[in-house]
């Protein structure tokens, strides 16, 4: 496994993130963006669960700021087997994300509507509720539409900061959006556009566009550009430990950030080595 150094090169790392993350030092990253798979490939099994209530600080693992998440975990897991596996997989990695964030750092956790509510509760317990910054809705328009319910056409990105009184956020650094009714604002305002909100309309990666790498689950650079521009500065280190095709690395390279991209799948590594070559 390659080793990271603050004045070293950008890295693409082929490893299970659970093995690699512990090799990185505390507080090294201004931004952590992760887009984990829901299906972790693990065989689901039913476990005997403790739903015993734990007072703060008395659970089987004391969370940050003295909060215990064993209570939350026990309660949630008793409702949903799949979530229990997901929790076991994700929680230790999110604890590592917290450790690796600088004091002014931010975590973006990209999920969909099936997982986001559980993860919100998990992150409230891990980071503290006052560290919750936003839930970004990425709305897109692609694919079939069921007629049996409202077709789900969005992803959810939970945003948590390490320190609510010290985090870096630069709203002026992001691309602006056209006004819906430009006739209602001054021509100067209309020309400048408006600051984006927490709802981002953006197409998926076009199957025929030049961004496409062929890697399934690839996210659009336009989304990640906002994340990187707002929550890091030039020269900062950013981390994606479920990196896939390396969208975070590509955007970071273009915006002058330094990056570490980790993935356990050799196909992802091949795609990233080709895509990120000029910054490695
Ligand atoms: C949803 S994809 C990420 C897509 C990425 N955001 C992009 O734009 O291409 C999730 C990735 O996590 C990787 N992965 C799953 N389990 C992992 C683990 N334990 N360690 C490292 N990578 C893992 C998978 O190989 C997959 O490439």
Best residue for ligand 1 mutational test, from 209, 243, 246, 262 (most atoms within 8 Å of Cβ): 243
Q: Higher confidence at residue 191 or residue 74? A: 191
Query: What's the half-sphere exposure (Cβ side, CA atoms, 13 Å) at 124?
Result: 12
pTM for the whole thing? 0.88
36 CA from centroid of ligand 1 (Å):
6
Burial of 262 (0-12, 13-18, 19+ CB in 10 A): buried
| CA–CA separation, 86 and 112 (whole Å) | 13
Q: What is the pLDDT of residue 64?
A: 53
Atom of ligand 1 nearest to the CA of 89: 19
Q: Average pLDDT for residues 14-27, to the nearest whole number?
A: 98
The mean-pLDDT minimum among 69-78, 108-117, 268-277 falls in 69-78
Q: What is the pLDDT of residue 114?
A: 84
Q: What is the mean pLDDT of the chain?
A: 88
Check whether 61 has a pLDDT greater than 90: no
Burial of 180 (0-12, 13-18, 19+ CB in 10 A): exposed
Q: What is the pLDDT of residue 42?
A: 39
Q: What is the pLDDT of residue 159?
A: 98
Kindly list the protein residues whose Cβ atom lies closer than 6 A to any atom of ligand 1.
16-18, 35-37, 215, 217-219, 242, 244-245, 247, 262-265, 268
Q: Higher confidence at residue 55 or residue 159? A: 159
Q: Average pLDDT for residues 108-130, to the nearest whole number?
A: 92
Q: What is the pLDDT of residue 260?
A: 98
Best residue for ligand 1 mutational test, from 244, 248, 269 (most atoms within 8 Å of Cβ): 244
Q: What is the pLDDT of residue 87?
A: 80
Check whether 96 has a pLDDT greater than 80: yes
Q: Average pLDDT for residues 44-69, to the nearest whole number?
A: 44
Q: What is the pLDDT of residue 32?
A: 98
Burial of 211 (0-12, 13-18, 19+ CB in 10 A): middle
35 CA from centroid of ligand 1 (Å):
7
143-192: pLDDT as tens digits: 899 999 999 999 999 999 999 999 999 999 999 999 999 999 999 999 99
Which residue has the least CA distance to atom 14 on ligand 1? Answer: 242
Topology of domain 11-279 in CATH is Rossmann fold (3.40.50)
Which residue has the least CA distance to atom 3 on ligand 1? Answer: 244
Q: Average pLDDT for residues 251-256, to the nearest whole number?
A: 98
220-231: pLDDT as tens digits: 999 999 999 999
Are 144 and 152 in contact, with CB atoms under 8 Å apart? Answer: no
Which residue has the least CA distance to atom 13 on ligand 1? Answer: 242
264-276: pLDDT as tens digits: 999 999 999 999 9
Q: What is the pLDDT of residue 206?
A: 86
Return the sign of the alpha-carbon dihedral for residues 85, 90, 91, 93: positive
Return the sign of the alpha-carbon dihedral for residues 22, 26, 29, 30: positive
Q: From its phi and psi, is residue 57 left (phi > 0), alpha (psi between -120 and 50) or beta?
A: left
Atom of ligand 1 nearest to the CA of 215: 9
In percent, the amount of the chain with pLDDT more than 90 equals: 75
179 CA from centroid of ligand 1 (Å):
35
Which residue has the least CA distance to atom 7 on ligand 1? Answer: 218
Confidence of residue 118 (pLDDT cuts 50, 70, 90): confident
26 CA from centroid of ligand 1 (Å):
22
Check whether 54 has a pLDDT greater than 70: no
Which residue has the least CA distance to atom 2 on ligand 1? Answer: 244
Best residue for ligand 1 mutational test, from 93, 262, 264 (most atoms within 8 Å of Cβ): 264
242 CA from centroid of ligand 1 (Å):
4
217 CA from centroid of ligand 1 (Å):
9
Supply φ then ψ for residue 224, to 5 degrees: -70, -25
């Amino acid at each position: 496994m390659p080793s990271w150094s603050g004045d070293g090169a950008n890295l693409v790392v082929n490893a299970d993130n659970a093995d690699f993350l512990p090799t990185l030092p505390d507080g090294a990253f201004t931004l952590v963006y992760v887009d984990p798979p829901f299906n972790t490939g693990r065989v689901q099994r039913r476990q005997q669960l403790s739903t015993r209530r734990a007072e703060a600080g008395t659970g089987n693992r004391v969370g940050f700021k003295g909060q215990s998440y064993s209570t939350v975990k026990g309660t949630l897991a008793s409702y949903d087997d799949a979530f229990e596996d997901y929790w076991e997989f994700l929680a230790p990695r999110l604890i590592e994300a917290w450790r690796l964030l600088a004091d002014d750092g931010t975590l973006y956790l990209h999920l969909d509507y099936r997982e986001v509510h559980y993860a919100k509760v998990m992150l409230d317990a891990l980071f503290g509720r006052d560290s919750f910054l936003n839930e970004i809705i990425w709305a897109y328009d692609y694919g079939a539409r069921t007629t049996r319910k409202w077709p789900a056409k969005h992803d959810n990105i939970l945003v948590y900061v390490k320190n609510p009184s010290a985090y870096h956020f630069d709203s002026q650094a992001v691309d602006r959006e056209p006004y819906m009714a430009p006739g209602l604002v001054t021509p100067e305002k209309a020309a400048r556009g408006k600051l984006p909100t927490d709802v981002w309309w953006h197409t998926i990666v076009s199957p025929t566009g030049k961004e496409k790498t062929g890697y399934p689950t690839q996210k659009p650079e336009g989304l990640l550009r906002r994340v990187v521009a707002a929550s890091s500065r030039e020269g900062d280190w950013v981390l994606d430990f479920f990196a896939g095709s390396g969208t975070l690395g590509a955007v970071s390279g273009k915006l002058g950030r330094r990056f570490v991209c980790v993935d356990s799948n050799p196909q992802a590594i091949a795609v990233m080595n080709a895509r990120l070559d000029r910054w490695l």
